[in-house]
Every structure is written in C-alpha cells, then in structure tokens.
Amino acid sequence: MSIPLLPPRNLLHPTVFRNWICTWCNHRYTGNKQCPKCHEWVYTIEAGNIPGEV
C-alpha cells in the first residue's frame, strides 16, 4: 500500500510580479507570490518589507 501524493498547490488568483521571500523555506525569488521551491504562498512576504533589511 502506498500513500497517495497530494495534488500540487495552485494560487486561486494571479498575484503581482515582485521580489519575494518565503519565510517557510527561506527562499528569495522574483515572480508571482507562490514560492517555486516549496509551492507555498501563505508564508511569502515582499522582499522590501522585512524589518532591519537593507
């Protein structure tokens, strides 16, 4: 018996093309809000909105 894989997560609506940081997997990327590494978007914030970051 094998464990069924979950279907890939997809955003319901398109988001703005920006510089993002995923706080879940600590990945920096440019594109839509969904992280290309872990496919999450709930934990993604805009790169310029981190306190103390230059």
**pLDDT tens per residue, range 4-46:** 777 777 777 777 889 999 999 999 999 999 999 998 989 999 9
Range of the domain at 31: 18-49
pLDDT, residue 51, reads 65
Number of domains in the chain: 1
**Is residue 11 assigned to a domain?**
no
* Domain membership flag for residue 22: yes
Has residue 49 got a pLDDT over 80? Answer: no
Higher local confidence (pLDDT), 4 or 54: 4
Indicate the burial class of 44 (C-beta count within 10 angstroms; 0-12, 13-18, 19 or more): buried
**pLDDT score at 15:** 77
3-state SS record for the chain: CCCCCCCCCCCCCCCCCEEEEECCCCEEEEECCCCCCCCCCCCEEEHHHCCCCC
Q: Stretch 44-50: mean pLDDT, rounded?
A: 83
Largest CA distance in the chain: 51
The one-letter code for the residue type at 20 is W
Residue 8 belongs to a domain: no
pLDDT score, position 3 = 75
